[in-house]
Each structure stands twice: as structure tokens, then as C-alpha cells.
Structure 1
Amino acid sequence: MRDNEKDLSWWQTFKSVGAAFFGVQSSTNHKQDFNKGKPVQFILVGLVAVILFVMSLVLAVTFVMPA
């Protein structure tokens, strides 16, 4: 990485993980992620995204299934 390039912000990391989560990541963004991104950011945001996804599924099933 060159010194004049900034790392990805947390918001950019969140958007990138969201795009990858649904399989719509562009080639340009994919390259940018590998050049500017920090692995720790992607791991943390990915874990949060998976936890939120699982919690939303549990919540949806709770509302649909009779008690």
C-alpha cells in the first residue's frame, strides 16, 4: 500500500461486507478492499453482520410460528 492511500473507513467496510454478503461486490471495490482494507475491520464487521442476520431470522421465525 502506498503512503498516500488511506485505509477504508468503518462505513466503507460495512458497505463492502454488505455487498459481498449478497454477492454483488464490484471488481473495482473488491480490489480496493484488498489494497486498502484491514483484515480486522472485515472480520469484526462480518461477525456483526452474521449475528444481525441470524437474529433477524430467529425473530422472523418467532413471529411466524405459533406459540
Structure 2
Amino acid sequence: MDDPSEGKPPTFWQMLHSILAAALGVQSGKNRARDFNHGKASHFIALGALFTLIFIFVLIGLVQLAVHLTAR
């Protein structure tokens, strides 16, 4: 069966899905092949770096919240 999106670059949401799946280590072979064949590495690097920064800030916030709640 032919996929109508075949040959097109991945959309922002598809790239975000790929970044999240890669962070969890559960990327499907079909999506990985799409990303490597039709995506731009610079887009994935930028989105991955942004995801990593957000993840770090969320972790820092959670640690600060836990320290604040246990310091009572």
C-alpha cells in the first residue's frame, strides 16, 4: 500500500514524535527510515537540543520542588 506522505519531509509533529520516541528508545523502523530518508539532520538536532533543555529544566524544577517540600 502506498503512503501519500511518502517522499515528503516529516512534519513538525512527526519530528516531535520521533524525538520523543528516540528519548524513550521505542522508535519504529518505518518512522526511523522516514526520518533518515526524508528529514533534515539539522531540524532533528535543533529539536532534540530543545527537548533536552526543556527536560533538564523540568528535572531541576522537580528537584527544587522536592527539596522545598522536604525542608519543612
Q: Same fold (TM over 0.5)?
A: yes
- Name the residue aligned to 1:53: 55
Identity across the alignment (%): 36
Following superposition, the deviation at residue 8 of structure 1 comes to 0.9
Structure 1 stretches of 5 or more lacking a match? none
> Highest Rg: 1 or 2?
2
Q: For 1:7, what is the secondary structure of its paired residue?
A: coil
Q: How many residues align?
A: 64
Work out which structure has the larger RCO, using CA pairs closer than 8 Å and 6 or more positions apart in sequence: 1
User: 2:65, 2:45 → 1: CA distance?
Assistant: 30
3-state SS of 1:8 partner = coil
Alignment match of 2:38 (pick from 33, 36, 39) = 36
2:8 to 6, 9, 13: 6
TM-score by length of 1: 0.87
TM-score by length of 2: 0.81
Q: Distance in 2 between matches of 1:38 and 1:27?
A: 17
Q: Which residue of 2 aligns with 1:24?
A: 26
Runs of at least 5 residues in structure 2 that lack an aligned partner in the other structure:
1-5
Tell me the SS of whatever aligns to 1:65.
Answer: helix
Q: What is the identity, as a one-letter code, of the residue corresponding to 1:15?
A: H
